[in-house]
Amino acid sequence: MQKQTYSSADMIAKLLPIMLCFFAMGFVDLVGIASNYVKADLNLTDSQANIFPSLVFFWFLIFSVPTGMLMNKIGRKSTVIVSLILTILSLLLPIFGEGYILMLVSFSLLGIGNTLMQTSLNPLLSTLITGDKLSSSLTLGQFVKAIASFLAPYIAMWGATQCVPTFGLGWKILFPIYMFIGVLAVLILGVTPIEEEKQEGKPSTYGQIFSLLGNPFILLCFLGIMCHVGIDVGTNTTAPKILIERLNMNLNDAAFATSLYFIFRTAGCLTGASLLSKIKNKYFFGVSVCLMLVAMVILLFSSDKTLIYIAIALIGFGNSNIFPIILANALQFMPEKKNEVSGLMIMGLFGGTIFPLAMGLSSDIVGQIGAITIMLFGVLYLSFYTTKIKTFTN
């Protein structure tokens, strides 16, 4: 099928609701700061609290590939709408309480909804944008997503300190605010016409989809995404704990570290959206990984508040463009299998389960230096992946 061409005004009209959905995609990152508040409210250990982010990302292992198959049946746009509805339900539950089981159910629904959204929204964007502009467009989506991510700790902190009206919800005022935006995204995307490519031939089976991991480059991309999201969720969750452990900060003050991470991740996405269409992805990726390596060394050895903040900022900036570069590389490597490859790559977000669990166990034994060491292994793998990045043109 020949790709539909759109006027500039029509393209903007179609991109705006997609970008609002990218904002809703960022709701999943509230699990980092929320897990810290739930830990304090319910007196949980690090291992118990880290189950929340791990549970959110566990569902990427289960539902990513089926979502790729679902897209072949109902389309990418319809799959995004289903994902938004699940996200809305997940944000509704905490309004009625904060028991351990209730929060487990809420974060499970949040993870399932985000799995469907990440698997379907990226290829939906690729129906409008192609070639060397895809990486920068995906990065623009990540920039919008990052706005929701870095706002979450602020909203929770303002709610906890009663700086905004919370209607008795405290830090949980975060949930109805994001729920309203999710409803808005459903309504706007629902009325936006987007023409999708028709699926040619028979839909791929489970075996055929997983067999794509037999391709060395696809496997490298899959592992790269696991490391990226492990570093992302790990920093999101661990940054406040480092400040609490080394500087004896209280949680409300330490929560700024999570916002700082997302502020610089947002700045990195904005930079990437501008530069990735002008310079080679490999060079940009390499610089990003070097920034994270420097940050990990600082976090391993420093107890200085300023240096810790600098390290967190470097991780945020460096990690901001890793995902879109890897994903665009994988989608362009097998353009005839976009839905299937997208499902596999998003399954790699299961790294958000493995890393926090390993980091929680390590930090319970040797403190946060154990958690930082786990993230360092992820950065070292991305250093290796830098040498394998491919270049594609229109």
pLDDT on residue 92? 93
Which tokens go with 299? 């976090």
Spatial separation of the C-alpha atoms in residues 297 and 327, rounded to whole Å: 27
pLDDT on residue 167? 67
pLDDT on residue 225? 92
The type of residue at 124 is: L
- pLDDT at residue 89 is higher than 90: yes
Nearest to 84 by CA among 172, 19, 154, 21: 21
Contact 14, 74 (CB under 8 A): no
Contact 148, 23 (CB under 8 A): yes
Contact 82, 63 (CB under 8 A): no
pLDDT on residue 324? 85
Spatial separation of the C-alpha atoms in residues 344 and 352, rounded to whole Å: 15
pLDDT, tens digit (0-9, with 9 covering 90-100), for 137-154: 777 887 888 788 878 878
**pLDDT confidence of 375, banded at 50, 70, 90?**
very high
- How far does Cα 226 stand from its chain's mean position? 11
pLDDT, tens digit (0-9, with 9 covering 90-100), for 285-335: 999 999 999 999 999 998 899 999 999 999 999 998 898 889 888 888 887
Which tokens go with 358? 């390993």
Per the prediction, the chain carries an average pLDDT of 84
- pLDDT at residue 164 is higher than 80: no
Q: Under 8 Å CB-to-CB from 298, ≥6 apart: which residues?
A: 307, 308, 310, 311, 314
DSSP state of 334: S
| Residue 288 phi, psi (nearest 5) | -60, -45
pLDDT on residue 290? 96
pLDDT on residue 138? 78
Q: How many helices (H) and strands (E) does the chain have?
A: 18, 0
**pLDDT confidence of 394, banded at 50, 70, 90?**
very low
Angular region, 351: left φ>0, alpha ψ -120 to 50, beta rest: alpha
Spatial separation of the C-alpha atoms in residues 385 and 224, rounded to whole Å: 7
pLDDT, tens digit (0-9, with 9 covering 90-100), for 256-281: 888 788 889 888 888 887 787 778 88
What is the mean pLDDT of the segment spanning 113-136? Answer: 80
DSSP for 237-277, please give it.
HHHHHHHHHHH---HHHHTHHHHHHHHHHHHHHHHHHHHTT
pLDDT on residue 1? 44
Choice between 58 and 370, residue whose per-residue pLDDT is larger? 370
- What percent of the chain is modeled with pLDDT above 70? 92
What is the mean pLDDT of the segment spanning 71-85? Answer: 91
Contact 84, 189 (CB under 8 A): yes
**pLDDT confidence of 393, banded at 50, 70, 90?**
low
pLDDT, tens digit (0-9, with 9 covering 90-100), for 18-49: 999 999 998 887 887 788 788 887 887 777 77
- pLDDT at residue 4 is higher than 60: no
The type of residue at 7 is: S
**pLDDT confidence of 200, banded at 50, 70, 90?**
low
Nearest to 239 by CA among 268, 264, 272: 264
What domains are there in the chain, each with its CATH number? 11-193+203-386 (1.20.1250.20)
- pLDDT at residue 374 is higher than 60: yes
Lowest pLDDT segment from 56-70, 239-253, 291-305: 56-70
